[in-house]
């Protein structure tokens, strides 16, 4: 019985000996390259060197090994095409029925901070060519690029059911593998090119990190995919697995937290802030964030930029929250919080902020640079009365919050505590009225006396100024830029309110 030929050329040698033994047991002879051949030889598995097939030595320090007609014709020939088969016979080229390749470790190399020259040497040439050739001819050739498929392929060979449909599945994986590899190289090299923020073509690659409990709703499936070089930004210490909403809400909390200095706690619900507090301790910061809206915080996410200590844990444990995010948890805090078996505790590492923001639309992708601008030291005071130091402190805190609310958005702050937040409204006056109403509902109307208000966009009319004044708010910060700015400024002057412009809009859709 004539033996079939399998070409094995792998960078990762994991489980390759077992796989090769399985091929030999299923009547395959093996063709391999230098390091792979040596690995198999140590295990007592004989193989042909590629050079024996090509009659040409490896060249250019191994850059050229398998790029030869004796290899690629053996892979690409259509077995049901007489002309193809005559060509193989005339030129004494043997058919290659199976190709097993994984590529040079480009990702691992650049992840270690390698130089550009070292990274370039880890760009595989022959490997992708072999994979593409075998995948193109999947009707006749089996291609394997994933170590997790080794056992299944051997079982199908043994059972005689490695059929065309199964080879097509492996073909799809092969093209995904090569496409991801090339995309990673393009992403890495594009970072070396200045002024390449919005390139002519965008090819993104992500790797599945894990499957999630469910999507936005329980009937939807979901998974988390990561950029290959993205460092893990949090570690789950406790609690059940995360859902789609848990992750989106967590990143909403983390993004806001990155704006904060000093001990801060933010509460997030449905990816929008519902409470925030700044204080001298995390416990007091949490109490402020909780009291800002004790209704909305229920079932939400708590994020702190300091360690969760025993005092904070005692307070947080009094209500139901889904997730607590912090850079660390004291032993006392863990003893308290881990009693809640479903509560997720996430240890926050340094979070990398993407340079670009992507939004998928049907048939396309919207891409923009991230909103990383926040004017804090260059407020343009527009009114007769300028803000006091406490008012300015609260205005700046409110600016950080309003930037992370959906437009139209209003944030009201007093003494380092959010007291009224409203986002996602279709008119600015609606957002203003709702933020005021939220403050009154949870903290009483007197809390608004002397408070500061921030808006993510300009005021087209003076109606928000009138509503703020009636509530007792004394300082406002907004982008400005309306043709009707003067009406808002004059209204503030009539009411002895302070107003400052940032000249920076923060719409978030």
Residue 144 belongs to domain spanning: 4-190
Q: Please indicate, yes or no, whether residues 323 and 432 belong to a single structural domain of this protein.
A: no
Looking at the structure of the chain, the number of domains it has is: 3
Q: Do the domain assignments include residue 141?
A: yes
Whether a cis peptide bond, with omega within 30° of 0, leads into 392 is no
In a domain, 358, yes or no: no
**151, 20: one domain:** yes
> Residues 184, 272: one domain?
no
Q: What pLDDT, in 10s, does the model give residues 120-179?
A: 888 888 889 899 999 999 999 999 999 999 999 999 988 888 899 999 999 999 999 999
Q: Which residues of the chain have pLDDT under 70?
A: 1, 59, 61-62, 194-196, 230-231, 351-353, 376
Q: What is the DSSP code (8-state) at residue 445?
A: G
Four-CA torsion 33, 34, 35, 41, nearest 10 degrees: 90
266 and 133 in a common domain: no
Residue 32: CB atoms within 10 A of its CB come to 25
Residues 301 and 442 sit within 8 Å (Cβ to Cβ): no
Separation CA 190–CA 183 (nearest Å) = 10
Q: Is 136 among the residues known to form the active site?
A: yes
> Of 190, 219, 244, which residue constitutes the final position of a domain?
190
- The residue length of the chain stands at 509
Tell whether 366 is covered by a domain: no
57 in the same domain as 8: yes
Rounded to 10 deg, the angle between the 428-443 and 282-292 helix axes is 110
Give the model's pLDDT for residue 196. Answer: 67
Q: Are residues 35 and 126 in the same domain?
A: yes
What single-letter DSSP state applies at residue 321? -
Q: Hey, what's the torsion of the CAs at 423, 381, 292, 247, to 10 degrees?
A: 50
Active-site residue, selected from the candidate residues 4, 270, 381, 442: 270
Does the annotation count 270 as an active-site position?
A: yes
Instruction: Report yes or no on 212 lying in a domain.
Output: no
Return the pLDDT at 353.
64
Q: pLDDT at position 56, please?
A: 78
The one catalytic residue among 13, 84, 136, 381: 136
The reported pLDDT for the residue numbered 167 is: 93
Give the domain-ending residue among 305, 326, 348: 348
Same domain, yes or no, for 93 and 177?
A: yes
Contact 327, 306 (CB under 8 A): yes
Q: How far apart are CA 399 and CA 374, in angstroms?
A: 8
Q: So what's the pLDDT on residue 233?
A: 76
Same domain, 314 and 414: no
Q: What distance in Å separates the CA atoms of residue 228 and residue 206, rounded to the nearest whole number?
A: 6
CA–CA distance, 429 with 449 (Å, rounded to integer): 19
Single out the residue in 123, 155, 190 at which a domain terminates: 190
Strands 452-455 vs 417-422: parallel, antiparallel or unpaired:
unpaired
25 and 173 part of one domain: yes
What is the CB neighbour count within 10 angstroms for residue 361?
7
First to last CA, the chain: 66
CA distance 444 to 441: 6
């Amino acid at each position: 019985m004539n033996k079939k030929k399998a070409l094995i050329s792998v960078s990762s040698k994991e489980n390759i000996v077992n796989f090769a033994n399985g091929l030999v047991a299923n009547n395959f002879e093996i063709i391999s390259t230098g390091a792979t051949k040596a690995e198999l030889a140590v295990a007592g598995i004989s193989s042909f060197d590629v050079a024996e097939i090509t009659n040409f030595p490896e060249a250019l320090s191994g850059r050229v090994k398998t790029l030869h007609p004796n290899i690629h014709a053996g892979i690409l020939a259509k077995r049901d095409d007489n002309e193809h088969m005559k060509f193989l016979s005339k030129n004494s080229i043997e058919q290659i029925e199976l190709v097993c390749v994984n590529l040079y470790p480009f990702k691992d190399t650049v992840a270690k901070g390698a130089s550009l020259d070292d990274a370039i040497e880890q760009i595989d040439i022959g490997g992708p060519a072999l994979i593409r050739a075998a995948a193109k001819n999947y009707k006749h050739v089996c291609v394997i690029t994933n170590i997790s498929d080794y056992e299944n392929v051997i079982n199908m060979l043994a059972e005689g059911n490695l059929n065309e449909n199964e080879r097509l599945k492996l073909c799809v994986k092969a093209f995904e593998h090569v496409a991801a590899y090339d995309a990673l190289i393009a992403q890495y090299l594009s970072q070396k090119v200045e002024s390449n923020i919005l390139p002519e073509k965008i090819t993104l690659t992500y790797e599945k990190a894990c499957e999630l409990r469910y999507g936005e709703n329980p009937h939807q499936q979901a998974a988390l995919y990561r950029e290959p070089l993205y460092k893990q930004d949090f570690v789950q210490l406790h609690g059940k697995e995360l859902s789609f909403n848990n992750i989106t809400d967590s990143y909403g909390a983390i993004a806001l937290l990155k704006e904060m200095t000093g001990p801060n706690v933010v509460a997030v619900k449905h990816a929008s802030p519902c409470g925030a507090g700044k204080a001298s301790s995390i416990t007091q910061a949490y109490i402020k964030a909780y009291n800002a809206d004790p209704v909305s915080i229920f079932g939400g996410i708590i994020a702190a930029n300091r360690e969760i200590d025993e005092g904070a844990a005692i307070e947080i444990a009094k209500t139901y929250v889904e997730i607590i995010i912090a850079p660390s948890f004291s032993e006392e805090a863990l003893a308290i919080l881990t009693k809640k078996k479903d509560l997720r505790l996430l240890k926050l590492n340094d979070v990398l902020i993407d340079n670009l923001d992507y939004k998928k639309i049907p048939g396309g992708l919207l891409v923009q640079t991230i909103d990383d601008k926040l004017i804090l030291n260059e407020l343009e005071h527009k009114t007769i009365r300028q803000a006091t130091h406490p008012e300015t402190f609260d205005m700046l805190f409110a600016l950080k919050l309003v930037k992370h609310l959906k437009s139209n958005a209003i944030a009201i702050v007093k003494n380092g505590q959010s007291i009224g937040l409203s986002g996602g409204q279709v008119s600015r006056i609606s957002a203003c009225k709702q933020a005021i109403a939220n403050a009154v509902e949870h903290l009483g109307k007197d809390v608004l006396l002397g408070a500061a208000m921030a808006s993510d966009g300009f005021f087209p009319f003076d109606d928000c100024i009138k509503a703020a004044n009636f509530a007792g708010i004394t300082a406002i910060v907004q982008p400005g830029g309306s043709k009707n700015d003067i009406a808002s400024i004059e209204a503030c002057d009539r009411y002895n309110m302070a107003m400052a412009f940032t000249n920076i809009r923060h719409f978030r859709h």
